[in-house]
């Protein structure tokens, strides 16, 4: 993930190839050049806002939004994103040097607010400029009328805090380890010393002691998934095994800690792609650990989410 949070609480999002591919897929469903361009930009705007809200750990559902349905795209100029538990937010595309946003009449109502998303000319990045709860009756919204993104977070009753930075996994192989990640020995009890990562498609394994291998490595951190003053500590461990110059085999695993021998039932381990879409997941069923294996290219972004009931933790990564 790459984003920056300025003093004015704007936020810059890298537009992924996956986002462009989705926008292109929608664009091809419309014969009118004007409508196709409109749908393309709307799709990228929704992606950018969804990316930001996910970074702020605010749950959204694009599939529950009208903007992802080609038939609705034909009928309306719409770029809505469902914010779970709150309602729809409209994502307003802004072109370079544009000073006024012409808000479509069909989105004047049934919105919890509006976020302006400005693209640079190459469409490789988008900057979230600000937020307003309502738009003028004329539908013309001046950029100078925008409030801060802080207003959006307050509106959603979310604490304002610095955006979580991604963990750079490839740097681990150069002995540059992000703060907060520890050795396995400091996290797990001695009775768990038999734990080993096994990767698909290779006979190699990642041993518990990384010093026994020049090519493999694992680090972990503790997560508290408890609630109501009751702790529920589990360990999240990430293991790396280089597959080539461009690709790394990755294993993510969760373990119980302390005197607990089994993970809490219904605990979920989920791997999400750069768009926040779940691509792998597993649920604890009276198990001692859960492991998910996959490969990732250098520079690729993904996240790992651990959930127990209504408590969750999401860690962002860049390979």
CB-based burial of residue 228 (10 Å sphere; 0-12 exposed, 13-18 middle, 19+ buried)? exposed
Same domain, 151 and 190: no
Q: What span, in angstroms and rounded, lies between the C-alpha atoms of 297 and 227?
A: 36
Region 231-239 average pLDDT: 86
Same domain, 21 and 112: yes
In this prediction, residue 178 has a pLDDT band, given cuts at 50, 70 and 90, of: confident
Q: Which two tokens stand for residue 80?
A: 């809505």
Same domain, 218 and 139: no
Evaluate whether 151 touches 129 at the Cβ level (below 8 Å). no
Q: What pLDDT is attached to residue 121?
A: 92
Residue 233: phi and psi, rounded to 5, are -90, 130
Evaluate whether 218 touches 173 at the Cβ level (below 8 Å). no
Among 96, 129, 155, identify where a domain stops: 155
Same domain, 236 and 210: yes
Q: Which two tokens stand for residue 30?
A: 């419309």
Among 131, 155, 179, identify where a domain stops: 155
- For residue 180, the Cα-to-chain-centroid distance in whole angstroms is 19
Q: What pLDDT is attached to residue 160?
A: 46
Q: What is the mean pLDDT of the chain?
A: 83
Evaluate whether 197 touches 250 at the Cβ level (below 8 Å). no
Q: Which domain holds residue 146?
A: 11-155
Same domain, 105 and 216: no
Same domain, 128 and 194: no
Q: Would 160 be classed as within a structural domain? A: no
Q: Would 25 be classed as within a structural domain? A: yes
Same domain, 307 and 171: yes
Q: Would 97 be classed as within a structural domain? A: yes
Same domain, 175 and 80: no
Q: Would 2 be classed as within a structural domain? A: no
| pLDDT at residue 199 greater than cutoff 90 | no
Same domain, 133 and 242: no
Task: Return all residues near 154 (Cβ < 8 A) that are at least 6 apart.
Answer: 160
Sign of CA dihedral 27, 30, 36, 40: negative
Q: Would 45 be classed as within a structural domain? A: yes
Q: What span, in angstroms and rounded, lies between the C-alpha atoms of 106 and 43?
A: 17
Same domain, 150 and 255: no
pTM for the complete prediction? 0.50
**Strand order through the sheet with 113-119:** 11-14, 125-132, 113-119, 87-94, 80-83, 60-61
The tally of domains found in the chain comes to 2
Q: What pLDDT is attached to residue 209?
A: 38
Q: What pLDDT is attached to residue 234?
A: 87
Write down the residue that tokens 């003053």 correspond to: 229
Residue 294: phi and psi, rounded to 5, are -165, 170
Q: What pLDDT is attached to residue 197?
A: 59
Same domain, 173 and 306: yes
Same domain, 182 and 297: yes
185 or 290: which carries more pLDDT confidence?
A: 290
Q: Would 5 be classed as within a structural domain? A: no
- For residue 24, the Cα-to-chain-centroid distance in whole angstroms is 21
Partners of residue 186 on adjacent β-strands: none
Region 206-224 average pLDDT: 61
* pLDDT tens per residue across span 103-116: 998 898 889 999 99
Q: Would 1 be classed as within a structural domain? A: no
Q: Would 3 be classed as within a structural domain? A: no
Among 155, 182, 197, identify where a domain stops: 155
Where is 39: in which H helix or E strand? helix 33-55
Count of C-beta atoms within a 10 Å radius of residue 308: 20
Q: What pLDDT is attached to residue 163?
A: 52
* pLDDT tens per residue across span 246-290: 899 999 999 888 777 889 888 999 999 988 899 999 999 888 889
Smallest CA-to-CA distance from 115 within 193, 56, 169 is with 56
Any idea what DSSP says for residue 275? T
Q: What span, in angstroms and rounded, lies between the C-alpha atoms of 78 and 69?
A: 10
Using CA atoms of 206, 211, 214, 216 in order, give the dihedral in degrees to the nearest 10: 30
């Amino acid at each position: 993930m790459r984003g920056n949070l300025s003093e004015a609480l704007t936020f810059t999002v890298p537009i992924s190839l996956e986002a462009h591919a989705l926008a292109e897929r929608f664009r091809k469903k419309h014969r009118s050049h004007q409508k196709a361009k409109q749908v393309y930009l709307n799709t990228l705007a929704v992606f950018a806002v969804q990316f930001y809200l996910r970074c702020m750990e605010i749950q959204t559902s694009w599939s529950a939004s009208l903007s992802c349905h080609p038939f609705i795209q034909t009928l309306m100029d719409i770029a809505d994103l469902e914010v779970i538990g709150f309602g729809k937010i409209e994502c307003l595309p802004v072109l370079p040097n544009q000073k006024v946003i012409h808000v479509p009449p069909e989105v004047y109502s049934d919105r919890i607010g509006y976020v302006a998303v400005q693209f640079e000319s190459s469409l490789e990045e988008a900057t979230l400029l600000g937020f307003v709860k309502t738009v003028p009756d004329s539908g013309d919204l001046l950029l100078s009328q925008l409030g801060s993104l802080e207003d959006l977070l307050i509106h959603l009753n979310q604490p304002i805090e610095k955006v979580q930075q991604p963990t750079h996994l490839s740097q681990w192989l150069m002995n540059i380890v992000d703060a907060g990640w520890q050795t396995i020995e400091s996290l797990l009890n001695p009775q768990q010393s038999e734990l080993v990562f096994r990767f698909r498609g290779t006979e190699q394994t990642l041993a518990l002691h990384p010093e026994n291998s020049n090519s493999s490595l694992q680090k972990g951190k503790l997560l508290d998934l408890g609630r109501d003053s009751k702790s529920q500590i589990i360990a999240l461990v990430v293991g790396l095994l280089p597959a080539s110059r461009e690709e790394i085999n990755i294993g993510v695993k969760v373990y119980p800690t302390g005197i607990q021998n089994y993970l809490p039932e219904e605990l979920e381990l989920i791997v999400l792609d750069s768009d926040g879409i779940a691509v792998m997941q597993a649920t604890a069923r009276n198990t001692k650990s859960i492991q998910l294996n996959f490969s990732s290219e250098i520079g690729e972004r993904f996240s790992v989410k651990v959930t127990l009931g209504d408590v969750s933790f999401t860690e962002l990564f860049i390979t």
